[in-house]
Each structure stands twice: as C-alpha cells, then as structure tokens.
C-alpha cells in the first residue's frame, strides 16, 4: 500500500487555506487506498518529522506552508527543512513542496541528498481569496485548490512527476478558459495567477529529468489584498 505523510502548520490565512486543501487531498488519497499519516500544527517539528519518516516509512511526503529558495518553514516561520543542512532526512522518498520559492534550491538539494524526486515552485505560489475567507466555500480559491490537489493525486497513482507536471498545466488551462469567459471583476487576476503558478512549477527526478524553471509572479494576490507563501 502506498504511504503518504502530509506536513502543514496552519497559523495565518495562507496556511489555513493550504490546510483545507491538504484535507481535501488526504480525503481523496484515502479514497483511492493510500495510507496517510499527518503532522499538523504544533506536531510539526524536525524531531517529529524524522520520527514519522523513520516509523511510517512514507513513499511520499507532501509539505504545505511558507518557504524560501532554500528553506521550508513550520508555524510562525520557524525553519523545518533547509537545503544542505537537514534535507537528507527526506532520502528515499518523493517530495512535493506546496510552498513558494522552494523550487529554486530546496527541491534540487533534496534530490542531491537522496530523495527520489521533488517538486515545488520557483516563485511565489499565488491565489485569490474572498471574504469571509472560508477555504472550501471560496469560489476564487477553488481553481487553485484544484491546482494543488489534482496533480498530487497523479503522483500518488504512480504517474510520476511528469504526470504531476502535465496535470498541473492541464488544470491551469481548464480553469483559465472558464475564467476568461467570466465577467467577474477579479477574473483577470485569477487568470494571471493561474498562469504564473503553472509557469513556476518545477520538479527534479533521478528517473524523469526536470521540466525547467519557470518565471512566476511578482506578488501574491488576494481579494484586494496580497498574500505570500514566502
């Protein structure tokens, strides 16, 4: 049975949205027979992560939260994983960083330290939100939930990082087509961020190569606000 470890620590609006999307991902993963262990909130520490990897021996690790080019953080921006510091703990697993900028250095570093593959984004991962900020009832955020969840399921179903990448691009095109027909005042913003996220998606895999680094957004957009996962 495929084993998935999810890691996230909701503490602000962007990570609350990510936490909701990870919940959706976990529900779908269990539906297709994946065994799931989740670390969340205060459970997300380096020692707990190492312990979970050692005892659970996950095939995949999906991490949602704030990041930088060489770091992934837990609650309150406390570093959890850093390139060339402790990312060797991810060896022999396949990684998905749902996080800004990690595609620049952390993704390739994890693979150089023994991970079987890793995916992430080279710039800020961006999306649009609207009041009252309820993630699973926010129509502006729904396209971006698809952009996170559906490609992840491709990985879990054995379609590899190329399957992850291709599904992400397909979802972005599908949602873009819908929003280009919309007269909603924020439709153009949704389309822009879909394009930017798709353009910054990248992966490194010992067996599948890499798609190249994309150019991404200048800022993360919200409902007349700006939200950052970096």
Give mean pLDDT, residues 84-110. 95
CATH number, domain at 191?
3.40.50.1460
**pLDDT-above-90 percentage for the chain:** 86
Query: Distance of CA 48 to CAs 23, 54, 70, 81, 189, Å?
Result: 20, 10, 21, 12, 39
pLDDT band at 225 (very low <50, low <70, confident <90, very high): very low
- Give domain status of residue 16, yes or no: yes
Tell the residue number behind the tokens 């926010």, with chain if given. Answer: 138
The secondary structure of residue 83, as a DSSP letter, is T
- State the pLDDT at residue 206: 79
CA-CA distance, 175 to 161, in Å (whole number)?
A: 21
**pTM for this predicted structure:** 0.89
Note whether residue 216 is domain-resident.
no
Which pLDDT belongs to residue 207? Answer: 79
Total number of domains constituting the chain = 1
Domain region containing 43: 3-205
Q: Assign 49 to helix, strand or coil.
A: helix
Residues 149-158: pLDDT tens digits?
999 999 999 9
Query: Quick check: 90 pLDDT over 90?
Result: yes
Report the alpha-carbon distance of residue 96 to residue 92 in Å, rounded.
13
Coil, helix or strand for 228?
coil
Residues 34, 3: contact at Cβ < 8 Å? Answer: yes
User: Has residue 100 been placed in a domain?
Assistant: yes
């Amino acid at each position: 049975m495929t084993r998935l470890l999810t890691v996230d620590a909701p503490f602000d609006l962007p990570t609350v949205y990510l936490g909701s999307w990870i919940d959706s991902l976990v529900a779908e993963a269990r539906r297709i027979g994946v065994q799931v262990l989740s670390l969340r909130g205060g459970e997300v520490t380096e020692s707990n992560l190492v312990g979970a990897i050692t005892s659970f021996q996950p095939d995949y690790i999906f991490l949602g939260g704030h990041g930088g080019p060489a770091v992934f953080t837990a609650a309150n921006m406390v570093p959890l994983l850093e390139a060339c510091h402790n990312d060797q703990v991810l060896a022999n697993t396949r990684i998905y960083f749902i996080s800004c900028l990690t595609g620049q250095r952390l993704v390739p570093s994890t693979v150089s330290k023994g991970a079987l593959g890793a995916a992430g984004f080279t710039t800020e991962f961006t999306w649009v939100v609207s009041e009252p900020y309820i993630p699973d009832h926010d129509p502006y955020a729904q396209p971006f939930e698809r952009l996170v969840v559906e490609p992840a399921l491709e990985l879990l179903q054995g379609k590899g990082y190329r399957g992850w990448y291709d599904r992400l691009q397909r979802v972005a095109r599908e949602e873009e087509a819908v929003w280009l027909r919309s007269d909603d005042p924020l439709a153009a913003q949704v389309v822009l961020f879909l394009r930017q996220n798709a353009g910054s998606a990248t992966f490194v895999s010992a067996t599948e190569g890499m798609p190249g680094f994309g150019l991404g957004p200048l800022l993360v957009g919200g409902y007349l606000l700006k939200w950052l996962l970096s």
